[in-house]
A and B are shown apart, each in its own frame.
Chain A
Amino acid sequence: MKTTETPAPLPAESGAPITKTDVRPPAPPKEKKEGTVLNVFSHGVLVVWAFMVVLPLLWAVMTSFKDDRSIFSSPWSLPDSLHFDNWSRAWTQANMSDYFLNTVLVVGGSLIGTLVLGSMAAYVLARFDFPGNRFIYYLFIGGMSFPIMLALVPLFYVVNNMGLLNTIHGLILVYIAYSLPFTVFFLTAFFRTLPTSIAEAAFVDGASHSRTFFQIMIPMAKPGLISVGIFNFLGQWNQYMLPTVLNTDPDKRVLTQGLVQLAVSQGYKGDWSGLFAGLVMAMLPVLAAYIIFQRQVVQGLTAGALK
């Protein structure tokens, strides 16, 4: 324990034992009261923010069950009856089912590719010494802090020249490339923490480098792979900028794009209830996944920023 800062003792108070009701030492009664006021106030603020977070989401769910007329006339009224037809209309007529399928295909392919390629690169960078190791590592890390938009203009033409524009596999390759920086950064740190003795033993027993990696290192790295996998799943599922630029074919749209386009076109068609049903439809799977895998999500998302 070494710290350069020590909390400044307040001159008027000495180290008295801590009371059972408050974290603060006994002080004049006036002070005690302030503590209660502070408690009520701060708890109040926490509750207010929780409301501010939940209310828009609940409002969206509620609206998705209303008919168009009452959406506009009274945004806060409860639906007169549960209009499930909004949902079926959104799913079939508004092409939400296609957007869902496209998204699942793109994210599924990207996620597998990101994890396989990312762990391969990270393993080599973490465990092997070779000329250029540091350079390649920093090249990957650099990608985390550059504005992606700068690369998107030429990228559009690179992808176009390769004949990959408006294709699912083209989008998958681009997603993988843009997910690599964080994945390599995270997994390199993770592979460094794993013990080396088991891998060395396997190698002595005659396993090849790649066999050691696939049969020994990958199973050992499972927790790290799960965290970074969830991080990438959320990022890729919610991606908006990349498909907006690289995916101009209406049939190939992913969810986020499809919804935005739907909102634009609803200006002419006026099926707002269907649009809300679509919005909620896109929200629910991710929210459900988050509530189920809460711990891993939080670990995966915050791991990069903590030392």
Chain B
Amino acid sequence: MQHGKYRFIVGFLALPLGLYALFVVWPFIQSIYYSFTDWTGLSPEFKMVGFDNYSRMLDDDIFWKSLQHSLLFALLLPVVTIGLALFFAFMINVGGRKRKNGPVITGVRGSSFYKIVYFFPQVLSIAIVALLFAFAYNPDSGAINSLLRGIGLDDLQPLWLGDPDLALWAVMAVLVWSTVGFFVVLFSAGMASIPAEMYEAALLDGANRVTTFFRVTLPLLWDTVQSGWVYMGILALGAESFAVVQIMTTGPGGPDYSTTVMVLYVYQKAFRDGQAAYATTIGVALLVVTLAFAAVVMRLGRRERLEY
């Protein structure tokens, strides 16, 4: 298979690689370079300013707020989402009772129905989900407060997105709502590949469901949980958080920047304030946070590979 091999390889790689280099790799490299300049984005002239942007960033209160919120997203959202998803997936796949002559391990009744329904939010655009919830959270005419009135909680009428202390949590709840289903399906697929003998052995040894989960299911599923963790963290730092914060909160960025996140701040600095160089500096900080997050999760989650 030698003749013309290299011509073929070059011919097949040129277009995809060229497109990728032009629109993805090259802008990345430019970004890092621009963060050392005073480029506004509005005029083609700029000069090198060394670390000025970086020192300005360290004195920028709004940057620190956005960093805090992004870190909160990255630390809290995966814990809540993956915790809920593991519980649901375990119930759906392993939590059922033994039925007459059935297999030893079954899910609860209607497990396939749950899997289908839980996945709904995943196929909707995050922008549409954010719009929908922005209406539901409306303090006067929104579905949530009206539901609270309906069950007699008239005094409990939070402002939700208008309340600086609540807005961020309201936004995070939407991200949980939209991502749990994906992980339920992902973990279900993983649990389905665990051999039934493992469970049988555990049950014969008298393990109850909680023990079974922590001693059998979780260790065997660990790789999937870990990659899911990293994936969720990247989502929470990136595109998903941009969409929900930008669409749902006033400003955008919330009352008194109480919901702003790094990715939104990059966008606003570049396309609203005409400070392209400073925006790329915050982008570099976001890159550092993302890579550090992935490294920490991989490092903490390292354990012996289990074969089954």
- Chain A positions within 8 Å of B, measured between CB atoms, are 1-10, 13-16, 18-25, 35, 38-39, 42-43, 45-46, 49-50, 52-54, 56-57, 59-60, 71-76, 117-118, 120-121, 123-124, 128, 130, 136, 139-140, 143, 145-159, 173-174, 176-178, 180-181, 184, 200, 203, 208-210, 213, 234, 237-241, 244-245, 255-257, 259-260, 263, 276, 279, 282-283, 286-287, 289-291, 294, 297-298, 301-302, 305-307
Contacts and interface: CB of A to CB of B under 8 A. Distances in A.
A149 B4 contact: no
Given A15-B205, A23-B203, 19 more contacts: A7-B211, A7-B215, A10-B207, A45-B91, A49-B84, A50-B117, A57-B120, A136-B13, A147-B286, A149-B267, A150-B284, A150-B286, A157-B276, A173-B19, A238-B127, A291-B116, A298-B119, A298-B185, A302-B186
Contacts of B294: 145
A128 B243 CA distance: 40
The 3 closest A-B pairs by CB, nearest first: A238-B125, A13-B206, A150-B283
B13 to A, nearest CB: 6
8 contacts: A2-B306, A50-B114, A57-B120, A75-B142, A117-B15, A173-B23, A180-B16, A286-B125
B123 A46 contact: no
A301 B146 contact: no
Contact of B127 (A16, A256, A289): A256
Interface of B: 1, 4-6, 8-9, 11-13, 15-17, 19-20, 22-28, 30-31, 34, 41, 84, 87-88, 91-92, 95-98, 100, 104-105, 108-109, 113-114, 116-128, 131-136, 140-143, 146-147, 150, 177, 180-182, 185-186, 189-190, 195, 197-198, 201-209, 211-212, 215-216, 219-220, 223-224, 227-228, 230-231, 234, 237-239, 242-243, 246-247, 263, 266-267, 270-271, 276, 279-280, 283-284, 286-287, 290-291, 294, 304, 306-308
Q: Which residue among B23, B120, B136 has the maximum number of chain A CB atoms within 10 Å of its CB?
A: B23
Query: Which of B31, B133, B182, B198 has most A Cβ within 10 Å?
Result: B31
Contacts of B104: 18, 23
A4 B5 CA distance: 47
Given A7-B207, A25-B203, A145-B290, A150 B266 contact: yes
